[in-house]
Structure 1
Amino acid sequence: MHTRVFKVLEFDKVKAQLLEHVSSSLGKEKVERLFPSSDFDEVVQWQEQTDEAVASLRLRGHVPLDGIVDIRSSVKRASIGGTLSPQELLDIASTLYAARQMKTFIDSLAEDSSSFSHLSQYAAGLVSLSEIEQAIKKCIDDHGEVLDNASERLRSIRQQLRNTEARVREKLENMIRSSSAQKMLSDAIITIRNDRYVIPVKQEYRSAYGGIVHDQSSSGATLFIEPQVVVDLNNQLQEARVKEKQEIERILMELTGKVAEQADALLENVNILTELDFLFAKAKYAKKIKATKPLMNDHGYIRLLKARHPLIDPNVVVPNDIELGKDYTTMLITGPNTGGKTVTLKTIGLLTLMAQAGLFIPALDGSELAVFRSVYADIGDEQSIEQSLSTFSSHMVNIVDILRNIDSDSLVLFDELGAGTDPQEGAALAIAILDEVHQRGARVVATTHYPELKAYGYNRRGVINASVEFDIETLSPTYKLLIGVPGRSNAFEISKRLGLDERIIERAKSHISAESNKVENMIASLEHSKKRAEEEWKQAEDARKEAERLRNEWEEKLEELNEKRDELIEEAKRRAADIVKSSQQEAEHIIRELRQMQKEKQAEIKEHELIAAKKRLEEAVPTFDSKKKVKAAKRTHHEFRPGDEVKVVHLNQKGYLLEKVSDDEWQVQLGILKMKIKERELEYIGSSKPTETKPLATVKGKDYHVGLELDLRGERYEDAIVRLEKYIDDALLAGYPRVSIIHGKGTGALRKGVQEFLKKHRSVKNIRFGEATEGGTGVTIVELK
């Protein structure tokens, strides 16, 4: 691409903003060399790398890029035998530390997600030279001074230095504190000249101290003398300093040698850290301008959603939707001056350059841009005084150069095409230039204020008109782009609102041709229709969003209700199961006690009866199916009566109704068992057979239901005997060999009367009191003949 377009579209200003986010001079150098690429695969890769950097910033919030230094010259000097200074070695250690931190950071990202392939490749290339880093940190402190423990010899030399300095100072301190010192010394201090300790002696007392004169004051009144008593000590001090310097040189050479051995790895680390600093600078810049990753294509299609110019204050910039390259490849923007046409033009061009440079763009997600081989722009007043060229001439020189080079892989931006000359000729030239560029297949966006071009898009395929909206009420542009609607003049409306006489305005209108009026009216109608369509679309969209919100809200409520219902059902099932389980355990406990009693021969209980009882208890445990409803008893309109044959649904057993014990409960005979069952658990099978039409022998046979027990408790003696006599007859007809008469213990009168009656009854074979498990003396067991 021609470098001129970068200045015209202000790409250099974007790079200047990007420079604010680099962490090192290496990153700065990389940004300064940044240029858009026309290679589609390379652009896609750059965008993916930026996307990974943005994602890592979003996940971690900070990237450890501190400490990166440009050490390339130091490494190269070390590799050719030079000795590095302590500060250069510190910079190398700092850069190694930054590389190690960066490698750890990226590896931790890769462990959490596999979507950091590009960053992982960079991390794989970083070499962790911790031995060199530790060796440098061990020998040099943060201020660039070689530490005492860099070597045993250096520690010994510096200890000797400190001791010797202390002795020199001690001797000189004694001299300046003596009684004669105030008279002979200019000042009672110890100072240094030529790296040797001296004292300031007045000129006239020079001979009092002897030794060596190293300096004198500007007036000559004071001599800086090294007294004879410390000359030898100062000599020892100088020798120690020479040894110290030699040892420091040896240590630095040794560390430099380690650096030279790993020169290639160090330079590779620098290259990778440069790329990473550059990548994360792009990510930080994207975060600052709220930019997103554009989809890239290689077929010239541009679709920008709420695109913003990155150099305009985000609080005032107006976002615009822009589309080009599918149904139409040329867009002609018309409208008043200062209406935002040029900003729209620059936004398209600048965002294209940013995307092709691997930068995110300030637009919504889903925006799409093409990779162009070249971008051309003729924008602004480029009149050249030195070349004596008019505005029109300077534009035309640039346009001629553009026409020489464009092809189907070009994006061309024309601002005020044909301006600066006769309007009629300028409009004709603009149409011809647009036709030429359009025929070559380039993507073109042009702005103009010529009325002749307003109808340009209506009779040319692949061309569309656009305009920037102007608010008549406020007399100011809204900077909103209207695609499909050409701009129209607002001179009459503006003049009217500013107070120009209506008569003058009407006279002006009469000078406008009928054809121009027709075009203006058509444009006004288009604008009105578009506004109304946008308002209706917005209302429909708001209604859709509200309906979607309500649907989601009710779906959430329904889901919560279902979850709550399921929780309540599960809780009820659990509690029911716990109750049944507890009852079953209690029943098993009772059975164990019965068996224990059987062993002790306190009761005669048959084993199969125990097994059958336990089986019935186990069958009584409810089973729950979350998907199927428990089958309830069939409801009929039959009114239950004693003697009805019924089915107990939850036990799957048939029996007969004995009597109603409460409003919703019956006593039911199930085989040899009597149970109280809720009426809702009963299913009617059939009624008892009528007795008036059949002889007694037929009715009261084995098919006639008679209980095995007769409960006489609470009865008067006479009534009890009548019931007992009838019951014995019924039991005989039923064929029972043995029945039980329950009379209770009480005063014993009923028991005595019952037994006297039974002893005299002709069909009674034998009587006895019940066993402990049968009711004891409250029950009489009757054996029938």
Structure 2
Amino acid sequence: MPIIAPTKIDLLINQLDLNEHINSFKSFFSRDDSLFMEGDQELHYRYIKSLDAIEFKAPPKVADFTNIKLHLQKRGVLHFEQIFEIVKVVRYFRYFKNKNLQSIIGEWMDKFVIEPKFFEVEKYFTHDGKFEENLDETLFALGSRIKEQKATINSSLKRLTSSSKITPYLIDSQLHLINDEEALLVRGGFNHVLKGAIVGRSSSGGFYVSPDSILKAKEQIRYITQEREAIFYTYAKEFSSKLSDLLPFINFIDKEFTKFDNYQARVLFAKSKNLSLIKSKKDSKITLEGFIHPALHHAKPIHVDFSKNILMITGVNAGGKTMLLKSILSAAFMAKYIIPMKLNEHKSHIGNFKGIHAIIDDPQNVKNDISTFAGRMQQFSKIFEHRDALIGVDEIELGTDSDEAAALFKVILDELILRGQKIVVTTHHKRLAALMADRDDVELMAAIYDEQNRVPTYEFMHGIIGKSYAFETASRYGISNKIVNEAKAVYGDNSEKLNILIERGSQLERELKQKHKIVDEKLQNITLKELELKEIKESLFKELDREKSALKESYEIAINEAKAAARAGDTQAIHRAMNKAKEKLPQTTNEPKIAQIAEFNIGDNVKYHSKKGVIVAMKDKKEAIVEVDGMRVRVQTSQLKHTQIIKQKPRTDVNLQVQKRAGLKCDLHGMRAEEANEVLDKFISDALINGWDEVIVYHGIGTGKLSYAVKEFLKAHPRVKKFEDAPQHMGGFGAKIVTL
């Protein structure tokens, strides 16, 4: 497999430590795409912000349409999986159209006009992409036959496992699927009592044998499967022909889905991580408020005002200078491609740059026989080729004498500014910073050092040149005080005095900043408390209004339902209307519940768990012997319930005279679909009135029409909780067990 060389964007993402963030963002795409969105970025941002204001579900994962469209252009036959990829996209756009949005997203969705011919294809696919075999009688019948043959195979294998002749040879009584063949695991010598084909060997030396007795059923399944595949191919050919005629429509939805996918990925990624969406502005100013680099955990937010051409970052070792540089470049990169990030979007401002370049890593390369400084010069020479770019340079004087480097890089920076570049520089040495400090277009920042605790604070201060604290850092990491003191003597008193002045200025700035911070925090707390009290007051009033409206509406609905029930002509309508009215009525009551202690006597009809029986003996009124289904059990009376006492129900103004029809079975054999639905409707209503919670409906197999009609009726009935095929001994696929 050929190795794909990383692009310039990939290299920049790696340099800025954004790999994990970008990979997480890309996982929200429905299909692979580039970070860059072609076209008007301002228009893209409008769509993204409009979509951000809407609650919506994520689109499904969708394959690329390139091969699909090529097949359709050549009038080829698509697989069902490929056809369903198109169906997924159309269904998702229909989902958005049905929201009836009024924003620019709604105007966009109005452009999607689904061709009527497409519905002729779509209706054959379920929500999970399976072919809807119920729409084809032949396929439905073939599917039923396959189920019957599989049932025959299972019953045959079970009979074999219980056979007294074969049991001594069975290693276990399980059914094994080996190479798509149902098999039994037996010992050697089985051939005297079991005829079949050996399809495998176990690790313990046993034989997996597929019995001859099931070969006929398996052969039938293969034959039926071939018939089904032939029908499926006919449908695939028909669908592909229709989709070939709709190729312009498919091209349109493919292009629009790619655009939408870019939008939704940004919106849902931002919501999942509580990130902000911000777009680069049409200038070169950078102001970051509360920015946190995504690679950092529990980091301190960054506050940077980079309005000038050059930002020089100095100060303590390991104080976060490089991370600040990466943060500034990362924010510009993510704003350029509208990638969500963590910052205060209302107080931040990020300009737009044609290119973003980072000179961060040590370029020394033994293979190419190049030194660190020579490599840096190569990197700088390439920067001169660009205009209107954002450049980040970490440790600018790396690899050479600092004084010579200061003079050289001052001139280089001057030239880059003339070319319209905006530059972020970190340095440990103050010589270059001092040479550039008198320029109006240079901003200074220093990493702050906690002198008392002798650790960096990872905070920065504008307008000063920071001390590197090389001696303090050496002491913190284990260099002896004797060596450090000798180094200070060599460094010289004048240099040390300069550092003291620098640090004193920094200390004054820190104290002023701390005072401002305390005042700002107090003002912010007061403002938050005022807003919180106001919100609580408004919320209470709204909640009161909602409760009043809901109570009034519930009683009006209940009264209307009761009236409708009284006006209904037949018992079914009355029964359903009363059920709806009961559901609408408030379920809570303020009447206190009075605990009642039930008394039991010999001869009482009682219920124990789900079984009914009769008390035949009592002991101390706490224990009873109950006869249940011919068996006598001793139970605590607290576990019993009377079955002959009917609890009083709430009174209503409608009296029902319904003839009770006992019975748990409904036989629909020989009926037409309409007649069967009418009989089934009455049967379920009677079952509900009689209190049955489970019944059985017989419809047979036949052509499958009656079975399909019964299933559709049960799906639509509001009181049917679930239904499933009956067990084999109760009718199998020709009957349904219905739970009410």
- So what's the TM-score if we normalise by structure 1? 0.55
Q: Does the CA-based 8 Å contact 1:410-1:443 persist in structure 2?
A: yes
Alignment equivalent of 1:270, drawn from 247, 254, 257? 254
Output the amino acid matched with 2:52: V
- CA shift for structure 1 position 387: 1.1
The aligned residue for residue 360 of structure 1 is 340
The aligned residue for residue 440 of structure 2 is 461
Alignment equivalent of 2:89, drawn from 95, 104, 127? 95
Distance 2:417 2:457 in 1: 29
Alignment equivalent of 2:241, drawn from 257, 260, 270? 257
The aligned residue for residue 266 of structure 2 is 282
Name the SS of the counterpart of 1:455 in structure 2.
helix
Identical columns (%) = 20
Change (3 A) 1:373 1:511: closer
Name the SS of the counterpart of 2:443 in structure 1.
strand
Q: Does the CA-based 8 Å contact 2:410-2:436 persist in structure 1?
A: no
Could you list the per-position Cα deviations for residues 261-281 of structure 1 after superposition, in whole angstroms to 9, with x for gaps in the alignment? 323323432332333233222
Q: Does the CA-based 8 Å contact 1:203-1:223 persist in structure 2?
A: no
Distance 1:165 1:318 in 2: 65
Change (3 A) 1:43 1:512: farther
Change (3 A) 1:198 1:393: closer
Given the alignment of the two structures, is residue 303 of structure 1 paired with residue 287 of structure 2, yes or no? yes
The aligned residue for residue 531 of structure 1 is 510
Distance 1:543 1:217 in 2: 79
Change (3 A) 1:159 1:344: closer
Q: Does the CA-based 8 Å contact 1:65-1:102 persist in structure 2?
A: no
Change (3 A) 1:424 1:103: same
Q: Does the CA-based 8 Å contact 1:333-1:446 persist in structure 2?
A: yes
Given the alignment of the two structures, is residue 387 of structure 1 paired with residue 368 of structure 2, yes or no? yes
Change (3 A) 1:415 1:167: closer
Larger radius of gyration: 1
Distance 1:224 1:479 in 2: 72
Could you list the per-position Cα deviations for residues 211-270 of structure 1 after superposition, in whole angstroms to 9, with x for gaps in the alignment? xx9999999x9999989xx99x99999876655443333233223333333233234323
Within a 5 Å distance, the mapping from 1:536-555 to structure 2 comes to 536-541=515-520
The aligned residue for residue 318 of structure 1 is 300
Given the alignment of the two structures, is residue 44 of structure 1 paired with residue 42 of structure 2, yes or no? yes
Name the SS of the counterpart of 1:88 in structure 2.
helix
Alignment equivalent of 2:14, drawn from 7, 29, 41? 7
- CA shift for structure 1 position 104: 2.6
Q: Does the CA-based 8 Å contact 1:47-1:359 persist in structure 2?
A: no
The aligned residue for residue 21 of structure 1 is 28
Q: Which moved more, 1:338-347 or 1:239-248?
A: 239-248
Given the alignment of the two structures, is residue 487 of structure 1 paired with residue 469 of structure 2, yes or no? no
Q: Does the CA-based 8 Å contact 1:303-1:367 persist in structure 2?
A: yes
Distance 2:136 2:275 in 1: 54
Given the alignment of the two structures, is residue 291 of structure 1 paired with residue 266 of structure 2, yes or no? no
Change (3 A) 1:134 1:65: farther
Change (3 A) 1:256 1:455: same
Distance 2:291 2:176 in 1: 71
Could you list the per-position Cα deviations for residues 125-149 of structure 1 after superposition, in whole angstroms to 9, with x for gaps in the alignment? 43445764574444679574x5553
The aligned residue for residue 52 of structure 2 is 54
- CA shift for structure 1 position 353: 0.6
Distance 1:554 1:169 in 2: 70
Q: Does the CA-based 8 Å contact 2:471-2:484 persist in structure 1?
A: no
Distance 1:192 1:551 in 2: 70
The aligned residue for residue 588 of structure 2 is none
The aligned residue for residue 247 of structure 1 is 231
Output the amino acid matched with 2:136: S
- CA shift for structure 1 position 96: 2.8
The aligned residue for residue 406 of structure 2 is 427
Name the SS of the counterpart of 1:93 in structure 2.
helix
Given the alignment of the two structures, is residue 438 of structure 1 paired with residue 439 of structure 2, yes or no? no
Alignment equivalent of 2:134, drawn from 145, 149, 153? 149
The aligned residue for residue 771 of structure 1 is none
Change (3 A) 1:150 1:302: same
- CA shift for structure 1 position 381: 1.9
- RMSD of aligned residue pairs (Cα, Å): 5.2
Q: Does the CA-based 8 Å contact 1:154-1:244 persist in structure 2?
A: yes
Alignment equivalent of 2:112, drawn from 84, 106, 126? 126
Change (3 A) 1:14 1:48: farther
Distance 2:222 2:97 in 1: 47
Q: Does the CA-based 8 Å contact 1:86-1:140 persist in structure 2?
A: no
Name the SS of the counterpart of 1:393 in structure 2.
helix
Distance 1:98 1:104 in 2: 10
The aligned residue for residue 397 of structure 2 is 418
Name the SS of the counterpart of 1:454 in structure 2.
helix
Which blocks of at least 5 consecutive residues in structure 1 are unaligned?
111-115, 560-785
Q: Does the CA-based 8 Å contact 2:310-2:441 persist in structure 1?
A: yes
Output the amino acid matched with 1:254: E
Q: Does the CA-based 8 Å contact 2:286-2:351 persist in structure 1?
A: yes
The aligned residue for residue 748 of structure 1 is none
Q: Does the CA-based 8 Å contact 2:316-2:448 persist in structure 1?
A: no
Distance 1:169 1:500 in 2: 83
The aligned residue for residue 579 of structure 2 is none
Distance 1:343 1:158 in 2: 64
Could you list the per-position Cα deviations for residues 119-177 of structure 1 after superposition, in whole angstroms to 9, with x for gaps in the alignment? 33542343445764574444679574x5553434445666788899999999x99x999
- CA shift for structure 1 position 85: 3.0
Q: Does the CA-based 8 Å contact 1:139-1:149 persist in structure 2?
A: no
- CA shift for structure 1 position 34: 1.3
Q: Which moved more, 1:331-340 or 1:94-103?
A: 94-103
Distance 2:179 2:490 in 1: 100
The aligned residue for residue 345 of structure 1 is 325
Could you list the per-position Cα deviations for residues 501-548 of structure 1 after superposition, in whole angstroms to 9, with x for gaps in the alignment? 69984993575263x345324422321331233234335545655787
Q: Does the CA-based 8 Å contact 2:279-2:336 persist in structure 1?
A: no
Q: Which moved more, 1:124-133 or 1:263-272?
A: 124-133
The aligned residue for residue 662 of structure 2 is none
Change (3 A) 1:513 1:462: farther
Which blocks of at least 5 consecutive residues in structure 2 are unaligned?
1-6, 539-740
Change (3 A) 1:551 1:495: same
- CA shift for structure 1 position 414: 1.0
Q: Which moved more, 1:69-78 or 1:255-264?
A: 69-78
Change (3 A) 1:5 1:141: closer
- CA shift for structure 1 position 43: 3.3
Name the SS of the counterpart of 1:266 in structure 2.
helix
The aligned residue for residue 350 of structure 2 is 369
Q: Which moved more, 1:64-73 or 1:477-486?
A: 64-73
- CA shift for structure 1 position 95: 3.3
Q: Does the CA-based 8 Å contact 1:86-1:252 persist in structure 2?
A: yes
Distance 1:553 1:148 in 2: 58
